[in-house]
Amino acid sequence: MANVQTFHDALNDGAKLEQLKREKSFVHNEGKGVVSITQQPLRRNAHPLRLYIYPDESSHTIHILSIGDKKHQEKDINEVHQFVKKNL
């Protein structure tokens, strides 16, 4: 959760989403407004987790959508894209 807190704090301090995507190695653009926050640093033999979020800069809201691992990444991204399309 440290990376989520870092992301949240940076937004609160005035950083823009596009800036964070470029500057933070744990923030990944997943398209359609969705970003993933990856777990770093990894423990030995750990499977990295990704937290999929939709940061709404206009309302200053971070919508937490899903969590998954590398194995299910494509499926997870498709599901969060569908959720965003229908709900956000």
CB under 8 Å to 13, separation ≥6 — which residues? none
Residue with tokens 């596009």: 18
84 pLDDT band, cuts 50/70/90, is very high
Among candidates 7, 14, 2, 15, which has minimal Cα distance to 53?
Answer: 7
Domain count, the chain: 1
For 40-82, the pLDDT digits (tens) are 766 777 778 999 999 998 888 999 999 999 889 999 999 999 9
Residue-number span of the structural domain to which 82 is assigned: 2-87
